[in-house]
Amino acid sequence: MQTGEATFRTRHGQAQWHGHPARESQGGPGPAHHGGDGRATHGRDAHATGFTLTEIMIAMGVLAIGMGMIAGALHAGIQLHVRTIDDIMRQLIGDNALAIVQARVRHSTTNGITDTYKLLKTGTGTDCYFGADDLKYPWNTTNTPYGAAVLMKLRKTDANSFNDYDVLIVPYTVTPGTAGANPSEVSKTEFICNINTGTSGSSSGSTINAAANVLKTGSVVIDTRNNIVQIFFVRSTPTTTTAELSETLAAGNNVKLITLTPANANSATPDRLECSKPVRTKTALSPNPTWTPGS
């Protein structure tokens, strides 16, 4: 037999393989071992079972990636579900508020509604037009976060429109700034400001410059210019006289805007106000010369 060829020897009754020396020095795979079923196995004990460490690590990596994708999809689904519920609830309370306006508010010379948008408050007193829970939904649920702001103004387009009113209903959800606190009712402020146009689609929209402390983070700004009602969310207030909006608003100086703000906006943990698309309509009210707000 030539030198370097593989030989098969027996020693004490045990079979041993002696491979080609050149191949072994080059790190190549050793010769095939034949298991009990006659099939060859290379580089591995014929009787070995299970997985290698590399195979286990690869499997765990694939499993981790899959679980991460599932968790992300689940979180997105939950967030969408919550937003859908809020949108439906705000739409319900907006429709209810319009019906309550037509049932409770009367046209008279003393109803306090002029040709400027007025926030119709709830509770008792001459400036309150609804019961304490009329504009909440469900009305008999304690601490419900869902409510509506009703703004009305008298239309004076001609001599025959003395009983025509513009109604602006803004459904909202209030998230208390302090855990366990009661959601506060919103308040309305009408103010003059300068608006600087931002870049659409950027992290912040327009910038508003107004009197100190008029706008707060979490406030909602209503633009009623040109008979087009638009609502914008105040993203941040870099200074006491500056507010950054979530969207881009048409620029202008000495612009009159309306802001809705939670009652505790000046606290260290103010409530957050989220509004949906407003309901804007025109209605005539039942005349009652003796009716006054709060009656």
- Compute the mean pLDDT over every residue in the chain, rounded to the nearest whole number: 76
How would you class 75 by CB atoms within 10 Å of its CB: exposed for 0-12, middle for 13-18, buried for 19 or more?
Answer: exposed
- Indicate the range of 18-27, 83-92, 139-148, 200-209 predicted with least confidence: 18-27
Q: Which of 29, 172, 37 has the alpha carbon at shortest distance from 91?
A: 172
Please tell me the predicted confidence (pLDDT) of residue 31: 54
Strand, coil or helix: 103: helix
For residues 46-74, give the mean pLDDT. Answer: 81
C-alpha distances (whole Å) from 120 to each of 107, 138, 266 are 14, 19, 22
The number of beta carbons lying within 10 Å of the beta carbon of residue 90 is 23
* Class in CATH terms, 186-262: mainly beta
Please tell me the predicted confidence (pLDDT) of residue 130: 86
Q: Scan for tokens 């967030």, then name that residue.
A: 79
- Rounded to a whole number of angstroms, the CA Rg of the chain reads 37
Is the peptide bond prior to 262 cis by the omega test (within 30 degrees of 0)? no
Q: Is the pLDDT of residue 282 over 70?
A: yes
Strand, coil or helix: 16: strand
Please tell me the predicted confidence (pLDDT) of residue 36: 53
Strand, coil or helix: 119: strand
Distance CA 278, CA 150 (A): 10
Q: Which of 219, 163, 166 has the alpha carbon at shortest distance from 189?
A: 219
The torsion angles phi and psi of 217, rounded to 5 degrees, stand at: -60, 130
- Comparing 122 with 35, the larger pLDDT belongs to 122
Domain ranges of the chain: 7-41, 50-183+276-295, 186-262
C-alpha distances (whole Å) from 125 to each of 71, 108, 128, 157 are 52, 17, 5, 31
Q: Which of 128, 104, 126, 249 has the alpha carbon at shortest distance from 187?
A: 128
Q: Which of 261, 258, 268 has the alpha carbon at shortest distance from 208?
A: 258
Confidence class for position 8, pLDDT limits 50, 70, 90: very low
Q: Is the pLDDT of residue 25 over 50?
A: no
* Tokens linked to 188: 């309305």
